[in-house]
């Protein structure tokens, strides 16, 4: 089989997966935190849920003792949230309410965040 036909055959499943991403797709926000000011971080936590739910987000997990099953992980906490789509996530993240409470998180923890597209 010619090389170009082999490449098309290999890419086909990925093209089908990309087609599934069209339209409204759930996104998952994952945050890895290293907390260095517990008092200020707790102030952020106390205000977090009302703002998250007001903007259509759902808290799926918040674990200060995640189990490392492979590789290295040196954070104190991992948080997993779901949003109906990227636009909803962006609206929440940039909202005046979240920006106000995020000041405490930014001062209290080093955070790495990623956004992952769901399959549906």
Q: What is the CA radius of gyration of the chain?
A: 18
**Which DSSP string do the residues of 16-63 spell out, in sequence order?**
HHHHHTSS---EEEEEEEEES-HHHHHHHHHHHHHHHHHTT-EEEEEE
Name residues whose C-beta falls within 8 Å of residue 62's C-beta, 6 or more positions apart in sequence: 77, 78, 79, 80
pTM of the model: 0.79
Residue pLDDT, tens place only, 39-87: 999 999 999 999 999 999 999 999 999 999 999 988 999 999 999 999 9
pLDDT tier for residue 34 given thresholds of 50, 70 and 90: very high
The domains located in the chain, with CATH, are 24-117 (3.30.70.100)
């Amino acid at each position: 089989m010619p090389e170009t036909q082999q490449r098309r055959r290999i890419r086909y499943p990925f093209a089908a997966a990309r087609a599934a991403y069209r339209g409204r797709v759930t996104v998952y926000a994952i945050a890895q935190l290293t907390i260095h000011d517990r008092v200020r971080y707790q102030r952020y936590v106390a205000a977090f849920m009302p703002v998250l739910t007001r903007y259509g987000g759902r808290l799926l997990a918040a674990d200060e003792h995640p189990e490392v099953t492979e590789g290295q992980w040196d954070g104190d906490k991992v948080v997993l949230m779901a949003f109906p789509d990227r636009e909803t996530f962006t609206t929440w993240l940039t909202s005046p309410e979240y920006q106000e409470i995020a000041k405490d998180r930014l001062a209290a923890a080093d955070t790495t965040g990623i956004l992952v597209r769901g399959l549906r």
